[in-house]
A and B are shown apart, each in its own frame.
Chain A
Amino acid sequence: MHRKPGGVVTAILLLIPYLGLLCVPFYNKREPELLGFPFFYWYQLLWIPITVVLLWLAYRRVRHDD
């Protein structure tokens, strides 16, 4: 990545999902349940929209040449 002002913020936005999903002991739990889903399942599914929002924020920070 070419060094651009704010490149660090973009990098952090992109790294957050790795933190959220690779810290497995944090979410390897049954409670709290949501709509019948144990925490393990709904927590990971929740990271889909969270990642989409983070990527969208990162997208807005990239300079678009095309």
Chain B
Amino acid sequence: MTTDLDLTAISIFIAFFVLVTAMGFWAARWRRPATLASLDEWGLGGRRFGVWITWFLIGGDFYTAYTVIAVPALVYAVGAYGFFALPYTIIVYPFVFAVMPALWRAAKKAGHVTAPDVVYGNYQSRWLELALAATGVIATMPYIALQLVGMATVFKALGFAGEIPIVIAFVVLAVYTYSSGLRAPALIAFVKDIMIYIVVIAAVTVIPSKLGGYAAMFAAADADFLAKGSGGLLLSAKQIVPYATLALGSALAAFMYPHTLTGIFASASENTIRKNAILLPAYTLLLGLLALLGYMGHAAHLQVKSNNDVVPALFQTLFPSWFVGFAFAAIAIGALVPAAVMSIGAANLFTRNFWKAYVNPAITPDGEARVAKFTSLAVKVGALLVILFLPTKFALDLQLLGGVWIIQTLPSVVFALFWKWPKAPALLAGWIVGFGAGTWLAVADQVKPLHTFAFGDCEITAYTGLWALGFNLATVLIVTAALRVMATKEG
């Protein structure tokens, strides 16, 4: 990587950044409602996003900038195992198709803004609502911080030293999210996603032709893995169950996060969501091709200090300056969209399930919007402070724990849509056991996503979040049965 500043790349990078910032502020006028001063308008864009806006919005905030950096980095480092993101982002869509239209319907009917709102509507349990809302907020915070890590990677590659650029980018983001709400990331997502599509299509067509084709690329990676003695083009026997369970667990967790649910709730109809389940896999194709950049890094014989530098280094080595600027802008803008939606999702949770529930139950729609706007600022400042003052590993570890935590909300959010039998105490007990067990297992394993249980001679290593979900579900069933027995004895 060159250390001197590449002025062409930097100019193009800044030009796109300015364009997107202008769009963020202008978004407040886009599809202008009578007033932005309600949570439905500020936090859900008026629930009027049709098929295409939703496609760009969810695509933009589910496939984040961090993904663009981290997935190829993992594939570069370990090979096949890093590909679990591909089955994960395929099997997530049948789940979305089956579950999310019903959740949207429940929310729309009663004017709910968050998943804990829906759960409170179903069970009238403040404790369950609080547990779910708190899980959502703490799982989202480190996710926002990771978007900053993604952005910092391209800033560093462009030659910007220090932390000032990231602070400026984030302050600008915070201000236009404050004024425009969900309309800002929805509008910016159009630009971001089109840029990312151009970058990835260029990368997967141009790079292999420069490096001698796909077969040569796989061969180069294979040779490097053999020389290194770890990683490989195929999974080792020990990686098979972890691969499958990470894919399944991640798919079940993905649409429990506040930022993805915000995209669901902001949709105009049930069919908007179903059509998106059919259309969103286009981004998965993009992700699959992007993951291959990791192998292209081997074919290009890159020398990188950190695996996360693979994608920026690959572009700088193989593309002209102007395209490097364009690609890096795509990645940095790619961090802004999810960061905005995440902070809005967390702000909606705080406003509805904490402020309205405990501080001011009589709050007006206008007041709700004000609390949420302020909270979105606070959330972003918090994420920025974490990145500036704590080691990156802290954010990474927390994000991993966040996945283990958020999946524990699934029974409470989903079961009531299909069945009447689960009761709030059983679901709350399940959440407590799942959350506790998941945290304990993950921390005991030095914050690794996998845990090994031995059943006699048979050892099974699987995704910790899925183990914990198993304990959660078992608890729900046992407590439900116990409640029934007690009820029949009393009756």
Contact = CB atoms under 8 A, between A and B. Distances in A.
A59 B98 CA distance: 10
A6 to B, nearest CB: 14
Interface residues of B, number: 39
**At the interface, is chain A mostly helix, strand, loop or mixed?**
helix
B278 A59 contact: yes
Given A45-B285, A59-B278, A64-B271, A21 B90 contact: yes
Interface in A21-63: 21-22, 24-25, 28-30, 33, 35-38, 40-41, 44-45, 47-48, 51-52, 54-56, 58-59, 62
Contacts of B274: 55, 59, 62
Contact of A66 (B91, B247, B270): B270
Nearest to B270: A66
Contact of A48 (B215, B247, B277, B285): B285
Contacts of B371: none
B235 A55 contact: no
B269 A45 contact: no
B97 interface: yes
B89 to A, nearest CB: 9
A21 B91 contact: yes
B80 interface: yes
A55 B214 contact: no
A36 B204 CA distance: 14
Contact of B94 (A17, A22, A29): A17
A48 B98 contact: no
B382 interface: no
A15 B94 CA distance: 7
Given A58-B97, A66-B269, 10 more contacts: A11-B98, A22-B87, A22-B248, A24-B241, A30-B234, A36-B213, A47-B90, A48-B281, A52-B281, A59-B278
Interface of A: 1, 11, 14-15, 17-18, 21-22, 24-25, 28-30, 33, 35-38, 40-41, 44-45, 47-48, 51-52, 54-56, 58-59, 62, 64-66
Which 8 residue pairs across A and B have the least CB separation, nearest first? Answer: A36-B215, A36-B214, A14-B94, A21-B87, A66-B269, A55-B278, A24-B240, A22-B244
